Structure 1
Amino acid sequence: MDTAYNVLLIGSGGREHAIAWKLNRSSNLGKLFIAPGNPGTDKLGLNVNLDTANFEEIASFCKEQNIDLVVVGPEVPLVDGITDYLEKENIKVFGPHKRAARLEGSKEFAKEFMVKYHIPTADYAVFSSQDFDDALTFVQSKDSYPIVLKADGLAAGKGVFICDSEEEVVDRLDKLKNRNALGGAADKLVIEEFMEGEEASVFIISDGHTSHILHNAQDHKRIGEGDTGLNTGGMGAYSPAPIMTEELLEQVKSEIVEPTITGMQLEEAAYHGILYVGLMITAQGPKVVEYNCRFGDPECQVILPSLENDFLELLVATTEQRLDEMKITIDNNYRCCVVLASDGYPGSYEKGKSIRGLESVDDNALIFQAGTALNGENLVTSGGRVLNVVGSGKTLKEAIEHTYKNVDTIHFDGCYFRRDIGAKGLQRIGS
């Protein structure tokens, strides 16, 4: 690539800060705009105040600024069809089309797709919000706990509930009957069998025909240490996950990744972009927990620093269906990301807390901002998940120690984080 590409990045979280950081390291980058971005991304490009739900406004900006490529970070614009809209305006987009994004946008579609194409997953049933009494009857007929309740639509990572008893199921169904629950994402409910095993995530890049595994990671969804409490958007991640051996990755590729990419072609919804495959490694082998139509957050923050490719070149090749010309190169380091959150998250929390200590972070650690804002010249909290601290090392133990050493230099009132990120990986390798 000899061309300087002007890029518009959509999003404002820690994932988008990591994407902006990686794009900024490309020799092929011209101008980088981030909409709306955060105080961290503004140091890597130019934040622009665009309504990312207004595709016409996005298209007008792209034409005014001669944008060569739009990179979409979060799932909502993708599920709503931003790729389809912008491509009709002759604007290149890295991200799946609306039909393909249904893999994340509808749990029901994803489950039906997996059954149709013989992709291993949990047994399930689907109920509408008007049929929650039938859902309870179904659960009672199974008489097997735990059981998993999933909102069919997008719920920002907070639409999955693991219930250990009938009482918990009744309580959760009662809450989800409210039409406004999870912003309407629970108008339909998928009930799944609980899968025993260890979770891991595999990230694929696809141009609709060719696909490559980028890397793997393990996320920590629950708010509490020891994987307890409510689900969150993610409290930390590490990569690579020791459970994902080369043999297992080959099995995932042949039994899950390739059938998924081929199946989407057969559905006339060829998949372009990043595909996140959330896995449960069971005694029967890997099974799909969920698909996401974009990078995970905070998994992105440990995946991208490991990628040795020119990221922008890789994205352009994907949009031009030249992925077969590319070879993915990953370094040999481990990385760990710890999320610093506001007290009360994933429930209600206060904003505007002054953030201190970032100047004490060492040069080899990465800080990706998420829920932050500027109050004058002072950086303050503005979200549930505030900061991502990423450390690296030649071993997982080194990466975890490096991360927490830097976590302990950062302070804001009500700062909460888990101290066991990566512990399952250490236990698996006997460290």
Structure 2
Amino acid sequence: ARYVETDSLEDAYGFINSLEIPIVVKADGLCGGKGVIIAQSHDEAKRAAGEMLSGNSFGDAGTKIVIEEFLDGCELSVFAVCDGHDYVVLPAAQDHKRLLDNDEGPNTGGMGAYAPTTLVNDTIYRKLEERVIEPTLKGMKEEGMPFTGVLFIGVMVVGGEPIILEYNVRFGDPECEVLMPLLKSPASELFYKAATGDLSSAQIAFYDKHAVGVVMASKEYPYKSSEPAEIIIDDIVHNDIASNAHISFAGVGRGEEDKLFATGGRVLVCVGIGDTIKEAHDKAYMLCGQVHFIGKQCRTDIAYQALGLET
């Protein structure tokens, strides 16, 4: 994709004028996953660029920006656990960045995810290994800095070809919450073998299952902080939900009488596990129905792209 990285508003405006809409405007720094604007007009792109460069949107994180040509395809998250020379690729996941159903509203840190996604096949996995993971590990090793850890690759698949949107060196959230339940081998073995440069001897296996995670966010997310709200979780009486769904807590705290409170941002993730994406999806949303706090918000269409292919 065509792009420019700049701290000049004049250069930003000039490049924006050269692009077709929609246009991607990104803050160059860390913004908690919210520093990307998909502008639907040239004027919106210019406003976003101006707000970022002035520091009004993201402070110092936006004083340099990246403007990109928009790519139309399916976006995936692929993670490789690396020990400096060998690696283990985890099942590809798909995040849902927009706040609202139908991928509308502002970008967030992620409103839900599922794995493995049916939108990637063995050919795409192999292309990512040959074009991205292996050259990255080779190059880091040649520079005397072998990479050990989690390589997070943000991928857009366009016409069957994987195009790299971003690198990171951590697990993604909420992707991690749906990947860990699929790991049949002990996570400690995977991470220890990576840390000690011994992944080649690891016997890493995954369950033949699917996992869907639905984020429940606070009332004002992602615009501003929210007032603390008590969380009430109903007793789980459905055995299948008790056995195949769980909650991963995030923006929570304890109050008087040890009560649980939503303290802002993304509060928790309801994760369902099943033999199909539909089963996992239904369990996750059944668990969501058991969780209550004032102002709670969540998307109702997590995994919609995969569900459309499955039905």
Read off the aligned partner of 1:404 and give its amino acid letter: Y
208-217 or 393-402, which deviates more: 208-217
Deviation string 1:302-350 (CA, Å, 9 cap, x unpaired) is 0011011111122121111111111321100100000000112101142
Change beyond 3 A, Cα 1:152–1:265 = farther
Offset, 1:177: 2.5
| Aligned mates of 2:59, 2:142 — CA distance in 1 | 32
Please tell me the root mean square deviation across aligned C-alpha atoms, in Å: 1.5
Aligned to 2:3: 124
Aligned to 1:374: 254
163-172 or 361-370, which deviates more: 361-370
Could you list the runs of 4 or more consecutive aligned residues of structure 1 that deviate by over 4 angstroms after TM superposition? none
Match runs of 1:324-343 below 5 Å: 324-343=200-219
Aligned to 1:362: 242
Could you tell me which of 16, 23, 43 is aligned with 1:139? Answer: 16
Offset, 1:238: 0.4
| Aligned mates of 1:428, 1:251 — CA distance in 2 | 23
Deviation string 1:79-129 (CA, Å, 9 cap, x unpaired) is xxxxxxxxxxxxxxxxxxxxxxxxxxxxxxxxxxxxxxxxxxx3321101x
Tell me whether 1:289 sits opposite 2:155 in the alignment. no
Match runs of 1:86-125 below 5 Å: 122-125=1-4
Read off the aligned partner of 2:264 and give its amino acid letter: G
Deviation string 1:25-79 (CA, Å, 9 cap, x unpaired) is xxxxxxxxxxxxxxxxxxxxxxxxxxxxxxxxxxxxxxxxxxxxxxxxxxxxxxx
| Aligned mates of 2:57, 2:150 — CA distance in 1 | 29
Tell me whether 1:398 sits opposite 2:274 in the alignment. no
Question: TM-score, normalising length from structure 1?
Answer: 0.69
| Aligned mates of 1:406, 1:218 — CA distance in 2 | 20
| Aligned mates of 1:281, 1:378 — CA distance in 2 | 45
Aligned to 2:37: 161
| Aligned mates of 1:346, 1:290 — CA distance in 2 | 22
Q: Percent identity?
A: 38
Is the contact between residue 338 and residue 388 of structure 1 (CA under 8 Å) also seen in structure 2? yes
Aligned to 2:111: 235
| Aligned mates of 1:263, 1:125 — CA distance in 2 | 25
Could you tell me which of 260, 283, 286 is aligned with 2:136? Answer: 260
SS for the counterpart of 1:275 is strand
Q: Give structure 2 stretches of 5+ with no counterpart.
A: none
Offset, 1:358: 4.8
162-171 or 266-275, which deviates more: 266-275
Offset, 1:224: 0.9
SS for the counterpart of 1:215 is coil
| Aligned mates of 1:132, 1:266 — CA distance in 2 | 38
Offset, 1:370: 0.4
| Aligned mates of 2:233, 2:259 — CA distance in 1 | 12
SS for the counterpart of 1:291 is strand
Question: TM-score, normalising length from structure 2?
Answer: 0.94
Aligned to 1:277: 153
| Aligned mates of 2:308, 2:152 — CA distance in 1 | 25
SS for the counterpart of 1:200 is strand
| Aligned mates of 1:190, 1:418 — CA distance in 2 | 28
Q: Give structure 1 stretches of 5+ with no counterpart.
A: 1-121
